[in-house]
Amino acid sequence: MNNFRLFSMFVRTFFLQSAWNFARMQNIGFSFVVEPSLKRIYPDAENLKDALRRHLEFFNTHPYLAGLMAAMTVRLEENAAQNDPSSRAAVYSRIVQLKERMCGPLAAIGDGCFWSGWRTTSALSAILAGGMVYLWIAAGQRDLYAMQYSRLAPFVPACCFLILYNAFSLPLRAAMVWAGYRWGESCAVEIARYPVQKGIAAIRRSSLFLLAAVVVCFAVGTVVVGRPDWLLAFTAFPVFVAALRRGISVSKIFYFTVAAIVLVRSAVRIFG
């Protein structure tokens, strides 16, 4: 399979959940992703129907990593088509087993990496960028140059989020397609060689640092000293990490921080 067909498969993964259903979830979308390749592998109409029917069974995994399984499936289907008809049944059964066994682990990796990891990091980075732009405009209210960009300030967080999030997720989604076809049946073994869990943990820690920077700088620093206090932001990060290591969840840290901000704001208004 050439790069053009792999790229076509990558594009089709964006429509994976277009026909999501409660009975078999992403099965129709998965069949849509692999259909052009199956047509090339099985010119005979009956063999093509059998192949599509195999992939209309239950399928559900993280949509960003589904390209890995689709490309792996195409590679195995190619291998099966080259075997004798009498030995194809065993290969087909193996394909179904691999899909069933890999759906859950890939979904867990994708959820941890993207939904609760990189998406949070991108959102906090966007909020931090938007806050800095707001402070720059507020500090230069009489500056004509700053006033000209004041109307664009609300769009800064949204643009930053889209750029940061897709700068990581899109290349990785494309790489999964090429990797799945190259690795074939050994996809699970190859993925196990990478420090996936360490990477997810690093992303979550960066989210914690950004949370500390956003909360401390723009909710406390601007009220107390009238400007971002970067020292407080950087000292808050190890405190948050220490709290995580003691078993305190991120949500509890967030709520405690918000409560502390409310108390600080109230104290400043009462005694300041």
Q: What is the pLDDT of residues 31-72, one digit of tens each?
A: 999 999 999 999 988 889 989 998 998 999 999 999 999 999
- Least trusted range by pLDDT, from 137-151, 217-231, 232-246: 217-231
Considering only the C-alpha atoms of the chain, give the largest distance between any 2 of them, rounded to a whole number of Å.
86
User: What residue has token string 């995580």?
Assistant: 244
Structure tokens at 73: 């499936």
Q: Check if the beta carbon of residue 127 is closer than 8 Å to that of residue 216.
A: no
Q: Check if the beta carbon of residue 135 is closer than 8 Å to that of residue 153.
A: no
User: What residue has token string 């559900």?
Assistant: 60
Percent of the chain that is helix, strand, coil (3-state, to 5): 80, 0, 15
Can you list the positions of beta strands (E) in 42-128?
none
Can you list the positions of beta strands (E) in the chain?
none
- Least trusted range by pLDDT, from 38-47, 59-68, 144-153, 241-250: 144-153
- Least trusted range by pLDDT, from 86-95, 142-151, 200-209, 249-258: 142-151
Q: Check if the beta carbon of residue 10 is closer than 8 Å to that of residue 3.
A: no
Read off the pTM: 0.76
Q: Check if the beta carbon of residue 159 is closer than 8 Å to that of residue 133.
A: no
pLDDT class for 242, splitting at 50, 70, 90?
Answer: confident
- Least trusted range by pLDDT, from 29-38, 119-128, 144-153, 161-170: 144-153
- Least trusted range by pLDDT, from 52-66, 89-103, 149-163, 248-262: 248-262
